[in-house]
Amino acid sequence: MQLPTVNPHKQYWTVHDVILLSLIAIFFGLIYQGWNYVYYLLAATPLKPYANDLTLGVWLMAGPASALLLKKRNACLIGELLAAILEMFIFSSWGVATIISGLIQGLGSECGFALTGYHHFDNRGLFLSTITATLITFGWDLFQSGYLHYPLHMLITLLLLRFISIGIFAGITVAAIQKLLIKTKVVAA
């Protein structure tokens, strides 16, 4: 089995790449805006302390989808950031903080692919992306969202919920989207 690799001579971005990245960002930016209401629904229940971690995986889908479909360095970071910018412009309740979150989330996801030397735009890279995104976004929330005030057992629970959410949405679901798009010949394998 031949592994998908990055050809260092083909790291330039084509017009096709930019259009595909833009479409991914628009698609997920709209999903992100709608997903806010799922978060609000959970936050209005006794599950409020867990709402962020239970729903976070959806907000990290644009980056890994961009990386898997484009197979280019920084596609993950740029795709996530563009989706966050679009979400903000269509009246996200978090305003400019949405862009900061998109940057942190994109960076977290990008690190997983970077750890493979950008040679695994496959399940291995996606799994590492899930781990790095979980750790980096959790580190951010320790300070930004006040997680440092939670007891250790709560932090462990939140970290596990976050990993599961990111794994299901930004991992398994993104891999399924990639397979569907390859099967329908929308993108090349």
* Mean pLDDT, the chain, integer: 92
CA angle 11, 135, 21 (to 5 degrees): 30
Mean pLDDT of 142-167: 97
Tell me if the pTM is above 0.85: yes
The pLDDT tens digits for 17-67 are 999 999 999 999 999 989 999 999 999 999 999 999 999 999 999 999 999
Residue 137's pLDDT is 98
The pLDDT tens digits for 74-116 are 999 999 999 999 989 887 777 899 999 999 999 999 999 999 9
User: Which residues contact residue 14 at a Cβ distance below 8 angstroms, ignoring those fewer than 6 apart?
Assistant: none
Task: Please name each of the domains of the chain with its CATH number.
Answer: 13-183 (1.10.1760)
Mean pLDDT of 134-157: 96
Concatenated DSSP letters of the chain = -PPP---GGG-SPPHHHHHHHHHHHHHHHHHHHHHHHHHHHHHTSTTHHHHHHHHGGGGGSHHHHHHHHH--TTHHHHHHHHHHHHHHHTT-TTTTHHHHHHHHHHHHHHHHHHHTTT---SHHHHHHHHHHHHHHHHHHHHHHS-GGGS-HHHHHHHHHHHHHHHIIIIIIIHHHHHHHHHHTTSS--
